[in-house]
Structure 1
Amino acid sequence: MAQEIGGKYLLERELARGGMGSIWVAFDTKLRRRVALKLMSLDQVSSTSSKERFEREAMAIAQLRNPHVIQVYDYGINDNAPYIVMELLDGEDLDSRLRKRGRLPLSTVNTILLQASRALGAAHGVGIIHRDLKPANIFIVAGEGGEHVKILDFGVVALVNGQAEAWNDITRVGMLVGTPAYMSPEQARGKPVDTRSDLWSLAVVAYKSLTAQLPFAAAAIGEIIVQICTGTHAPPSSFVPSLSSEVDAFFERALAKDPSHRFQSVGEMAAAFAALAEAEGPLRTTQILVIDDEPDVKMLIEQRFKQQIKRNVYQFTFATDGLGALEELRRNPELEVALSDINMPGMDGLTFLRQAAEVSPLLKVIMVSAYSDTANFRAAMNRGAIDFLVKPIDFKDLEATIENAARRAREVRRSIRAMEENGLLRLFVNDGIVDRLLPVIRSADSLAGEFVHGTVVFIDLHGFQERSRALAADAVIRLINANFEIIVPELTARGGVVDKYIGDAVMALFQGKDHAVRAVEACLAVRTELTRMVDRVGEDSPYSCGVSIGVASGEMISGSIGSRSMGRLDYTVLGEVVARAARLSERAARGQILVDEALCDTVQGFFICEENGSVAEPGTSEVRVFNVLETIAGDAASVAQLPTVALERTSSSSIKPPKP
C-alpha cells in the first residue's frame, strides 16, 4: 500500500535521492492531481539546521511567483519529517541534456540563459541569492510555445535584505556551501556573497553548455577551489573554434575574479549574451513592453499588430502602471522597447522612466500622452526617453518609431561587445596604481621626490624557497599567485596600495587617517584568510606556506625611480621605514606580524602585542620588536569599520625633511 504523507499525498514512485532526502511523484487525493513531493530523510530529521534549511527552501520559492521558478503548493511535517509539495515537471534538467548532447548551440544557450535570468532577476529583486546554480538545477520543460526553463532547489539560498541575519546563520560565513565547480571565488573562499556570485555560477553554466567543458576543473575539491580563486580559464573558442572572440570577451568579464569587474545585474548579463546570439543572426523577435492603464489598449495593440505577432516579428508584454512594468523588466531581461503612457495610477510614466534605467540599462522608452502635455514630454526626453507619441496614436507612426527604437537598442548591444573588450584592461590594472601614475605622467616635477608619512607592510611567503625547489616553473607561479589573490584584496580593502611585488613578497603602503591601524588590521586579515583557506583546501594546497610580516611607520621619500630616457620609471617609496619593514619581515617566523616599539605604542589600543626580542638598526642601538597577536575584542568592530582611504600626497614644500 502506498505511503501517505500529510494525510492526503500518496507516494507513487521515487524520482531522485540526495543528501537531504528524496523526491517522489505523489498523488494529491484532495485536488486529484500528481505533484512532486520532497521528503526529508530520517537521518536528517534530528538536525535542527537541516530542518531550518528545508523550511527556508519552501519559504524562498513561495516568495517567487515567477513562471521560471518551480512552484510550491504545500509545506508540512509528517511524523517529524518535513516535506515540500511542488509542481510536477515533465522534461529533463540541463545536466541530463548536456550528458546526451555534449554541447549546445549559442542560440539554444541564449534561450536557456535568458529564461534562467528571469528567475534570478525575480529572486534578486526580493533579496534572495540562490548559491547553487548548476545544470542539475535548471529544468527544461517542453510546451506548446517551445521549451520552458525553470530553476530548482533553493535549499542553500542566502538573503541580502532584512531577514538575512536570521536566515544566513543557518549557513555561516566560512562554510563550504554549494557545488564547488560552479562556485564564485568569494563563495569558494567562504566569504559573504551578493547577487554577482549567482552571475558567476550562471556564466559557468553557459560556458559548460557551449563547450562541454568546465572553465575550472580538477580531480579534488581543494584543487578546484584553488583553480577558481587563482586560475585562468581557456577561451571558449579554444574548444569550439566557431565561437567568436566576442564570446571569449563575454566570459572574460563574466568570470572575473573581482565581482566589481563582472556584470553587475542579471539583466545586464543576459542582454550582453543576447547580443552574442544576435551577432550570429538577427534576433527573431522584437520584445516590446506596453505600459498603459486603459483597459482597451491590450486588445487594440494585439489586433493592430496581429500579423507581426503571428510571424514573431513582435512580442508584446503588458503592464498597467510603472510598478508592474518594473516587475516585467526584472522577469524579462530581453525586453528592448517600452511604450509608456505618462499619466497612470500606482507609478506614473516619468517615475518609471527614471527607475527603468537601473533595472534595464539597454531599454529604449517611447513616451505616449496627450497633445497638450508638452511639459511632461520635455521632462521625459531629459530623463532619457528615446522618442514620444501623442494620442490618438497613428499606428503607422507607432510601427516606425518602434522599429527605430529596436534598431538603436541593438546598436547599443553591439557596442557593448567593444566596451567589454576595452574594459578588460581593468582586470589587470590596480586603480590605486593608476591614481598614482597619472600625476607622474602629467608632471615632471614629481621626479624630484617628496616626503610622505605612512605605514609600510612587507608580506613574505614563509616557506616559499624550500617548497618551490620541488615544483615545475608553472607550478611555482601558480603557488605565488594563489597567495597573492588572497593577500592583495585584504590590503586594498583597507586602503592599502600595493607598491611592488618582490619575488614572493608584497610591499604595500598605507596613508591617510589611521594608516597604522588599518595596516596592522589588514595583516591580521591576511593571516586569518590564508589559515581559513588551508582549512578548506588542505595542507598540500598553495596556501600552506604561511606568511612572515613586517610593518613599520614614519616618514619616507616618494618619487619616480628608474631611467626616464628609456621610459622605465617606477613610482615608489624608500628610506629607513621601508628598510625596517623589510628587516622585520625577514626576522618574522611563520605567521608572525612584527612591529617596532614605536608602532606598537601607536596601535596598542586596538591590538594585543607581545615583546619578541630586538632587531639591530644600522648606526643605532637595537630596537625592541613586538609580535601582533590579535585584535582587542572590544575594538574589533571599530577597526573593521575604519574608512578606506585613497593614497594621499604631501607637497615637499609643506613638510620638513627628517632629522639626520
Structure 2
Amino acid sequence: MSGRQIGNRYLLERRIADGGMGTIWVAHDAQLQRRVALKLMALGLPASAQARSQFEQEARTIAQLQNPHVVQVHDYGVDGDTPYIVMELLEGEDLETRLARQGRLPTAAVATLVQQVARALAAAHAAGIVHQDLKPANLFLARVDAEEVVKVLDFGLARLGAEAQAAARPAGKVMGTPRYMSPEQLRGEPHVDHRSDVWSLAVVAYRALTGHFPFSGDVLGEVRRGALVQAVPPSQALPGLGKELDALFAQALEETPARRFQSALEFSSAFASRVETRRRAAKVLVIDDEPSTEVMMRQRFRKLIREAQYEFLFASDGLDGLAKLRQHPDTDVVLSDINMPNMDGITFLSQVSEVNPLVKVIIVSAYSDMDKIRQVIHRGAFDFLVKPIDFADLEATIAKALRSATELRELVRSTEENQLLRLFVHKSLLERVAPLLPGHGMVLSERDEATVAFMDVPGFVTQARQEHPERALGRLNAVLDVVVPELTGRGGVVDRFIGDAVMVVFRGPQHLSRALEACLAARRQLREMTFRHGEQSAYAQGIRIGLDSGEVLCGSVGTRKLGRLDYAVIGEAVSVAARLALVAAKEQLLITETLRQRLGGTIESVRLEGRTLPGASAELLHDVVGRQEEHPARAADTATVEVKTPKESQESGTLAVHVAKSG
C-alpha cells in the first residue's frame, strides 16, 4: 500500500493507525505540497452503498464543525471502490495512550481537558450531531505551537440532525465502546440524544481523574438489562481526592437523561467550579506509640478539628507512619516521636522522602535525646520539639510547618499543571516568587535523594552553524516538544535548558524507576515520530541521554547584590549525568557501573568495553537497552558483538562491547 496514489493526488507514505472503519495513513498532498492524514476505508468492509454512505457521512459530519477542538477535514473522495477522507495531520498522542502510561492526570489538567472537549461537543450538538463514541482513544492531545490542544476524532458512529431520527437504528442494536456508553445507548434505544455524549464525557473525566472506571464490566451488563446502578464515588476510587466531586459525578452519571447535566458546557462549568473552590483541612500525621497521645491531640486541637481546619491521623510507629502516608498522599505535616518500636523516628525520617517528598516532619524528643537532634536536622527535619511539650510552641510550630508545606505544594502544583512552567521556568518568575517565601527564597534549600537526566541532540551545534537560526532552533524545539512531556509526565521537573540540552530532576517515591522509564519512553517516542515523519524530519536528529542518581542539594543559588537568584539542583549526580550525556552517542542512554548494580536485574544493558566516565577511570559505562521484562530471555548471559565507533568519537575502527544482563 505504501507508495500508492489515492485520488490522483495523495501519495500514501506510512500507516499510523487502524480503526474499525478504516486505516489512517500519512500521505503527501501533491497539489498543495503538504502532509495530511488520510483515512482509507478498511478493505475488509463490504463495498456496499450502506458502508460507503456511513463513511461519507463521517466526512460530512466533521466538515460541518469548524471548531479548533475537532479534527478538520480537507477532502473526501472515492478511489476506485475505496472511499477516503483527508484530514489535518496532528502531532501528539491520544488520551488513551497517555492514561496507559501515566495512570491518571492532575485535577487541573482534567478540568482543561473537559473544557476543551465540551467546546467541541457544544459545536456538534448545536449542529444536531451526537458523537456516540466519545472515549480516550478518540481524544487526541495535539501539539500546536507551544500548547497542547484537545481534538475530538472519529465521528464514524455519529448521527446527523433530523436524518438521525428518521434513520434511527432498530431497538436492541448497539454500536460503540461499552465502557463509555450511556445506559440508553447500551440498551440499544432508538432515540439517543446529546445527553448520551455528556454521560460519555463524564466517564472519560472520571477515569482521567482517578485512573479507574466508575462502573465495573459486570455492572454494565446489569445496566443493559435495565437494573438501576450507581457509580462508585471518585473519592472512594482515589483516596485523598476529597468528596467535593462526588455529587457532581453522581449527577453526570444519572441513569435518566433528564436528571443529568443537560449540556457538555454545563458539566464542564460545574467541574471547573468544584476544582477552583475545592478546599480541604490541613492534614497532620502524629506518630507515637503512647496511646494517650491521640486523646491529648484531639483534645488540644478540638476547635480547629470541629471547624474543619485540621484533620489528624495517628500511627503507632515509623513503619505504620509510612503506611499511613501512602494511604494519605495529601498529608502536609508529620509530628513524630524519636523512640518507638519497629521503626524509630530517625529511621522514619530517612525514608519519608521516598513516600512523600513534600511533607514537613517535626521531631519530638526528650532532653536526654539531644545528642540525636543533629542527626534529625541533617536528615531533613523541618523542626524539633522537646518534652514535656509546650502546647503554645507546638501549635506555632505546626502552623509554621503547614505554611511551608502549602507554599511548597503550590509551587510544585503550578510547575506541574501549567504547561509553560512544566517546559520552561524562567529566572525572572523564580525571582518574583522567591521573596514571597519564608526566608526570602531559602525555604526550599534542602538535601534530598534524586535522579538526574541530561538529554541533548547529538551534532546539533555543528549542523546549526550551516543553517538559518530560525530553522535550527525550530528543529531543536521540535525534538524537545516530543521528549520533554515524556519526562515531565512521569514526575520529572525541568531544572533548566542549557544550550541544546535539557536537565530534568526526579524526586519523591521511586524516582529512579520513574526517571529510567521516562528516558526510555522519550527515546521510543522520538523513534516513533521519526517513523511517522521520515528521516528528513527534525525528529531524525535523535537524542543522547546521561542518567545518574544520588544525594543532591536543592536551593537558591546566585547573588542577592545583583538581585539574581535561581532555584538549582547541585550534586555529584548532576555532574555525572551531564558527563554521561556528553560522551553518549545518538540513541544511547548511558549509566555508570555503580548505577547498573543498583538497578539490579531490572534492566538490560550493553557494556562499553574500554570506555570509562571522564574523570572517574574506574567507572565502566553501560548503554541501557530497555527494561529486563521487555526482552525475551537469551541463551547466554553475555554476548560479544562489534559496533562502529560513533561519528562524534575521535577514535577509529570498531569497539568491542558486551551485552550484559544486570544482576
For normalisation by structure 2, the TM-score amounts to: 0.40
Q: Relative contact order (C-alpha < 8 Å, sep 6+): which is higher?
A: 1
Give TM-score scaled by structure 1 length: 0.41
